[in-house]
Amino acid sequence: MNGMHILVHIWHNPKPWNAGKFTIDVNISAEYGPAKGFDGSGSYHDGEEGLYRLGTQCLGGDRWWCLRDRDRSLDECFSDGVDNFDPAQEDARYFKGNWRASDYADEDRVIEEAVADVLQVLETHVIFQFGWGRPTTR
């Protein structure tokens, strides 16, 4: 990285209706600390200075990891009172492009799956992207 520093920022969604979601930003800086330019207008893949949303740069679109399931408390009410309401379509909209646990009933499993996915994404799109290792076989 020719003397560049990389800071990985994992941050939660501050909106109360999105509690339990987090995403990852990557800050590439010539100095130790945040980059002076925060617009991310440079090239992430070339390691240019800036702040980049990892999902947008490497995963085909914004990516949020959803540690909680969608709020289903009103599904029955909406099904009765809103024409064409379909919980499956709500799931598709809510989770579109985002990481989703295989089973939200088991909190330990949710965390294990999320950590495994985040580590794989960081390994592929940060560590190997900038030449700090070799891919491992899992």
C-alpha R_g of the chain: 18
pLDDT of residue 11 exceeding 60: yes
Mean pLDDT of the chain: 87
In our burial notation (b when 16+ CB lie closer than 10 A, e otherwise), range 33-69 reads: eebeeeebebebeebbbbbbbbbebbbeeebbbbbeb
Cβ-contact 100, 92 below 8 angstroms? no
Separation of alpha carbons 135 and 38, rounded Å: 30
Q: What is the mean pLDDT of residues 23-31?
A: 91
**C-alpha to C-alpha distance for 77 and 124, rounded to whole angstroms:** 43
Q: Report, as an integer, the average pLDDT of 60-86.
A: 88
Return the domain boundaries, the chain: 5-127
Q: What is the pLDDT of residue 17?
A: 81
| Spatial CA neighbour of 21 closest among 81, 67, 90 | 67
Question: Which amino acid is it at 37?
Answer: G
What average pLDDT does the segment 40-50 reach? 83
